[in-house]
């Protein structure tokens, strides 16, 4: 996907826009860093005005015309990279998984903006507290210690900001551990690369150089000072792509979704910054980054209603589906086998792939796969 590829000629401010091909990358951790920068900026702005929301408390409503999520009965138009199937069933989460193979297929920024993904104070405290150690490990070239610290940071991130990461991390411990390891390793690659470090400093300068307009309650960023940030981010995305490919870190991604990492990075960036943009600039950012959404009617024809053995939530299996990610708890469920029945309460349920027994979500009695299906 060529972010900025849709640009033709000049942007609103009259600058010649470069046709920039941004390769797919693994930059989840970097995106988080950018978002944190945006949040810190917001906190600084709010320091002088207790209780006011950054960018106006109701920024999603203000940008409704450019940021509307799916209506009931619609789903984001996308196709699974792994099996080629189109998305047919609704998704209540921003991370959109394939209805047929359970692979990560897309990220719905518009859905994400309806959810509060701000890290809580606990996470912020931990990250701020670790900064001196992170800095020292980096200065000393101590990758081992830096990696340990990054694991702490992202472990806390996944735990304290569950809405910011895939719902797969909610209940699937293997997925969660893999995700933390992947994010941490991406952080290590970034921290010890000279060009990535230079770009990080450049980004910090560009954030510091932002000019702000409006009253405290309706604080907005001056777009002339905003667009240079996106130029730096484009280069960061390219560099991190190169780093993650060269080091093999892309392979650690539990979703194996390197095709989606550029989009995730830009989505996180938008989640942090859209609230501070005037409507026309917000629209322009979404178009430049290819994050405007198209929604198509859901197609539930022939789907079988099942129950998740992890959370008891309803899931739907389309004919031919193999694995389905539960929207409620994020477990990846095997929908090829018949449902299992709880010997105690009689409830039927679908097991996660590879699980041999589960506690019944209704009565907590152990249910075994043995001899069934």
The residue ranges that bind Zn ion (CB under 5 A) are 80, 82-83, 85, 98, 100-101, 103, 308, 310-311, 313, 326, 328-329, 342, 344-345, 347, 360, 362-363
Task: Tell me how far, at minimum, the Cβ of 184 lies from Zn ion, in Å.
Answer: 27
Task: Tell me how far, at minimum, the Cβ of 172 lies from Zn ion, in Å.
Answer: 10
Q: Outline where DSSP puts E strands in the chain.
A: 74-76, 95-97, 104-107, 212-213, 220-221, 295-297, 304-307, 314-317, 323-325, 332-334, 340-341, 348-349, 357-359, 366-368
Task: Tell me how far, at minimum, the Cβ of 312 lies from Zn ion, in Å.
Answer: 7
- Nearer to Zn ion by Cβ, of 271 and 309: the residue is 309
Positive or negative, the CA dihedral 31, 32, 33, 38 is positive
In three-state secondary structure terms, 270 is helix
Task: Tell me how far, at minimum, the Cβ of 207 lies from Zn ion, in Å.
Answer: 38
Q: How far apart are CA 32 and CA 10, in angstroms?
A: 30
In the chain, the N- to C-terminal Cα span, in Å, equals 42
Query: Counting beta carbons within 10 angstroms of the beta carbon of residue 275, is it exposed (0 to 12), middle (13 to 18) or buried (19 or more)?
Result: buried
Task: Tell me how far, at minimum, the Cβ of 295 lies from Zn ion, in Å.
Answer: 19
- Nearer to Zn ion by Cβ, of 151 and 306: the residue is 306
Query: Counting beta carbons within 10 angstroms of the beta carbon of residue 71, is it exposed (0 to 12), middle (13 to 18) or buried (19 or more)?
Result: exposed
Q: Is the distance from CB of 316 to CB of 304 less than 8 angstroms? A: yes
- Nearer to Zn ion by Cβ, of 190 and 307: the residue is 307
Task: Tell me how far, at minimum, the Cβ of 186 lies from Zn ion, in Å.
Answer: 25
Q: How many CB atoms lie within 10 A of CB 15?
A: 12
- Nearer to Zn ion by Cβ, of 108 and 185: the residue is 108
Residue that the structure tokens 């018949």 belong to:
338
Q: Is the distance from CB of 316 to CB of 102 less than 8 angstroms? A: no
Beta bridge partners of 368: 357
- Smallest CA-to-CA distance from 166 within 243, 111, 203 is with 111
Task: Tell me how far, at minimum, the Cβ of 325 lies from Zn ion, in Å.
Answer: 9
- Nearer to Zn ion by Cβ, of 105 and 221: the residue is 105
- Smallest CA-to-CA distance from 138 within 204, 195, 191 is with 191
Q: How far apart are CA 106 and CA 327, in angstroms?
A: 14
- Nearer to Zn ion by Cβ, of 76 and 151: the residue is 76
- Nearer to Zn ion by Cβ, of 3 and 347: the residue is 347
- Nearer to Zn ion by Cβ, of 28 and 328: the residue is 328
Query: Counting beta carbons within 10 angstroms of the beta carbon of residue 295, is it exposed (0 to 12), middle (13 to 18) or buried (19 or more)?
Result: middle
Task: Tell me how far, at minimum, the Cβ of 169 lies from Zn ion, in Å.
Answer: 13
- Nearer to Zn ion by Cβ, of 204 and 363: the residue is 363
Task: Tell me how far, at minimum, the Cβ of 310 lies from Zn ion, in Å.
Answer: 4
């Amino acid at each position: 996907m060529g972010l900025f590829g849709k640009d033709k000629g000049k942007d609103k401010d009259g600058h010649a826009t470069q046709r920039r091909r941004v390769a797919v990358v693994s930059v989840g951790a970097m995106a988080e860093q950018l978002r944190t920068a945006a949040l810190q900026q917001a906190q600084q702005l709010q320091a002088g005005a207790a209780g006011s929301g950054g960018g106006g408390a109701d920024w999603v409503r203000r940008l409704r015309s450019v940021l509307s999520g799916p209506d009931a009965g619609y789903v984001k138009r996308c196709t699974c990279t792994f099996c080629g199937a189109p998305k047919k069933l609704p998704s209540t989460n921003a991370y959109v998984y394939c209805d047929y193979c359970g692979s990560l297929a897309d990220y719905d920024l518009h859905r994400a903006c309806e959810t509060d993904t701000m890290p809580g104070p606990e996470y912020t405290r931990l990250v701020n507290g670790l900064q001196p150690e992170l800095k020292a490990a980096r200065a000393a070239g101590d990758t081992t210690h830096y990696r340990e610290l990054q694991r702490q940071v992202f472990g806390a991130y996944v735990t304290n900001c569950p809405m910011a990461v895939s719902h797969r991390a909610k209940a699937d411990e293997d997925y969660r551990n893999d995700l933390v390891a992947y994010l941490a390793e991406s952080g290590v690659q970034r921290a010890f690369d000279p060009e990535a470090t230079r770009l990080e400093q450049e980004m910090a300068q560009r954030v510091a150089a932002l000019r702000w307009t409006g009253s405290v309650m309706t604080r907005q960023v001056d777009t002339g000072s905003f667009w240079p940030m996106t130029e730096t981010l484009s280069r960061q995305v390219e560099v991190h792509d190169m780093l993650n490919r060269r080091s093999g870190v892309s392979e650690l991604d539990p979703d194996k979704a390197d095709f989606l990492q550029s989009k995730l990075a830009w989505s996180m960036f938008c989640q942090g910054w859209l609230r501070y943009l005037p409507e026309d600039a917000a629209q322009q950012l979404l178009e430049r980054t290819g994050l405007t959404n198209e929604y198509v009617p859901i197609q539930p024809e022939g789907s079988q209603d099942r129950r998740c053995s992890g959370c008891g939530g309803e899931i739907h299996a389309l004919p031919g589906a193999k694995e389905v990610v539960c929207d409620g708890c994020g477990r990846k469920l095997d929908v090829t086998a018949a449902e299992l029945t709880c010997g105690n309460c009689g409830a039927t349920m679908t097991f996660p792939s590879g699980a041999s027994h589960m506690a019944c979500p209704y009565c907590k009695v152990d249910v075994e796969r043995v001899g069934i299906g």
